[in-house]
Amino acid sequence: MLKDITLGQYFPGNSVIHRMDPRTKLVGLIIYIVALFTATSWLSYGIMLAFLIVMVALSKIPVKALFKGMKPLIFILIFTGLLNLLFNGGETVLVAFWKITITLEGVIRAFFMVARILMLISATFLMTYTTSPIQLTDGLESLLSPLKKIRVPVHELAMMMCIALRFIPTLIEETDKIISAQKARGADFETGSVLKRVKALVPILVPLFISAFRRADELATAMECRCYQGGEGRTKMKLLRYRRRDYFAYLILLMLLSGVIVAASFGL
Amino acid sequence: MSAITAEKLAYTYPGVDDAPGVAVFEELDLSVEEGSFVAVLGSNGCGKSTLAKHFNSILLPSGGKVYVWGLDTSDEEKLIQIRKTVGMVFQNPDNQIVANVVEEDVAFAPENLGISSPVIRQRVDTALKLVDMYKYCNHAPHLLSGGQKQRVAIAGVIAMEPKCIVLDEPTAMLDPKGRAEVMETVKRLNREKGITVILITHHMDEAAQAQRVVVLDKGKVALDGTPREVFSQIEKLHSMGLAAPETVELCSKLNACGFDLPLDRLNAEECAQVLCETLKA
């Protein structure tokens, strides 16, 4: 049952977006989010949406997959929408009864807010869907490498992320096994009060932690056996290299950002 | 030339707090020839894995010396060179695989050694082809079978181009098919690439495929010789809590009933042949 969980899901593919350097995609996402928060008008939102649609089309990611990923966020969306709808001042009153007043400004504001969150999430999903976890960690390591000068352990962080991603399926499998073993001995995880159910998790977590520590110990020995000595003097099999499409992507992104800023400053 | 030599090796596991440590070896002498295929047997807790960990400086002797192609394992300057020469494969393949793509994992060791990227690519491809896993190079390791994972782990070691591989019960967690795959791979590496293989195992039939069998008992080398020599000393093996291959056990039991069969028939065919001849006569 736990096997259905997908984390950092990746859709293998060979589109332009897939082939782009992971650094471009990471920086691109940041630029897009910044632009999204500078956007204020129908025009700028329109540009942002059009850009997103073109990107999704280019990536050949099924639109269904994008919407599927949003399911767990519906509550947040509704909540944000309602808050903006109800607690925004404004002149043009549309509906007013009891203590609730809904204004035209509030409706527009709520609509923009929800649209903004939807676009932000879609853009993030688009990046994780088109970039394999290992590329993502490589990209992060490379982008953050200037921080090495102020002694931030960038390589170690990237390595930890990579190992964590590698062990998620293994540990999920292990949890499944422990749950089955405890159930076979009469453990009950499904009935009782919330407190009782939380308590029932302890016999799962203890063996899981013990085995995780043992695994970590063995993995460390195996890594030592394979001459691991930290990031210093380490090379990479797949080097990250900017190609023409990456420079082109940066150009478009900058144009997008400056376009939205200009539009915002003219109040469009 | 001898690949690995242990001279009067002593090792004591350090005790916790004031508890005294546990002595595993006191004076162990062992020498492994270059290019040979040696199986190490012994009951649980006799120090097989501890011995293996001395061969590439994971553990350092508390007395005596271990030499790897003439290099002293306690010499810290030579650490990387020693670990590059003697690769190690452990029991649980899940706990040895670092990356979440097969080829990235195989590239891990050469990346650590600071080799340039085209050479790494070449080594990874060669290693994966050697263990017959090339077609899985872009797979996620957790989706492979146990035998396949263990072969990926072997490829990860081969990519360092070691002269010797130490395998610590590599088949203990595998099903019969996986065991056969791994044994076939190990034998091929020994035969075709001339890599020295030290195989620690609990399976007598695997040990019977080696050129030499070393039996450890109470921190000492108890028996040492070709599989035929070692396994025919069935009483000694039993006294150490070990068994001989099934065919030898069968012949030995028949002998107890008054037959006179040789005890050095290690596979089913040889054994059947002897039985047929005896029955005819």
Considering the domain architecture, whether residues A95 and A217 belong to the same structural domain is answered as: no
A137 domain-assigned: no
Considering the domain architecture, whether residues A203 and A184 belong to the same structural domain is answered as: yes
CA distance A7 to chain B (A): 13
Angle at B124 between CA B119 and CA B129, to 5 degrees: 130
Strand ranges across the sheet with B164-168: B86-89, B164-168, B196-200, B37-41, B212-217, B220-225
Beta bridge partners of B164: B86, B196
Considering the domain architecture, whether residues A50 and A175 belong to the same structural domain is answered as: no
Interval A127-171: pLDDT, tens? 888 888 788 888 888 888 888 888 888 888 888 888 888 888 888
pLDDT for the residue A107: 85
Considering the domain architecture, whether residues A231 and A160 belong to the same structural domain is answered as: yes
pLDDT for the residue A8: 53
Considering the domain architecture, whether residues A116 and A193 belong to the same structural domain is answered as: no
Instruction: Round to whole Å and give the CA distance between A47 and A36.
Output: 10
Arithmetic mean of pLDDT, B183-191: 92
Considering the domain architecture, whether residues A81 and A189 belong to the same structural domain is answered as: no
Instruction: Round to whole Å and give the CA distance between B234 and B237.
Output: 5
Considering the domain architecture, whether residues A114 and A208 belong to the same structural domain is answered as: no
Interval A15-56: pLDDT, tens? 888 888 889 999 999 999 998 888 888 888 888 898 899 988
Arithmetic mean of pLDDT, A49-67: 86
Give chain B's largest Cα–Cα span. Answer: 67
A141 domain-assigned: no
Q: What is the CATH number of domain B2-244?
A: 3.40.50.300
Considering the domain architecture, whether residues A89 and A173 belong to the same structural domain is answered as: no
For the beta carbon of residue B118, count every other beta carbon within 10 angstroms. Answer: 10
pLDDT for the residue A17: 85
Arithmetic mean of pLDDT, B224-251: 87
Considering the domain architecture, whether residues A97 and A213 belong to the same structural domain is answered as: no
A162 domain-assigned: yes
Considering the domain architecture, whether residues A27 and A81 belong to the same structural domain is answered as: yes
Q: Judge whether B34 and B54 are in contact, CB under 8 Å.
A: no
Domain that holds residue A36: 9-131+239-268
Comma-separated ranges of CATH 3.40.50.300 domains in chain B = 2-244
Angle of the A42-59 helix axis to the A104-130 helix axis, nearest 10: 20
pTM: 0.81
| Listed range (B110-119, B210-219, B262-271) with the worst mean pLDDT | B262-271
| Listed range (A10-14, A147-151, A242-246, B231-235) with the worst mean pLDDT | A10-14
Considering the domain architecture, whether residues A78 and A39 belong to the same structural domain is answered as: yes
Interface of A with B (CB under 8 A): 132-134, 162-163, 165-166, 169-170, 173, 215, 218-219, 221-229, 233-239
User: Given its phi and psi angles, is residue B21 left (phi above 0), alpha (psi -120 to 50 degrees) or beta?
Assistant: beta
Position A61 pLDDT exceeds 60: yes
**A47: which residues sit within 8 A by CB, 6+ positions away?**
A39, A256, A259, A260, A263
Residues of B whose CB is below 8 A from A225 = 56, 58, 83, 87-88, 157
A1 domain-assigned: no
Considering the domain architecture, whether residues A14 and A92 belong to the same structural domain is answered as: yes
Q: Which of B19, B15, B40 is nearest to B30 (CA)?
A: B40
Report CB contact under 8 Å: A227, B160.
Answer: yes
> Number of folded domains in chain A?
2
ipTM: 0.87
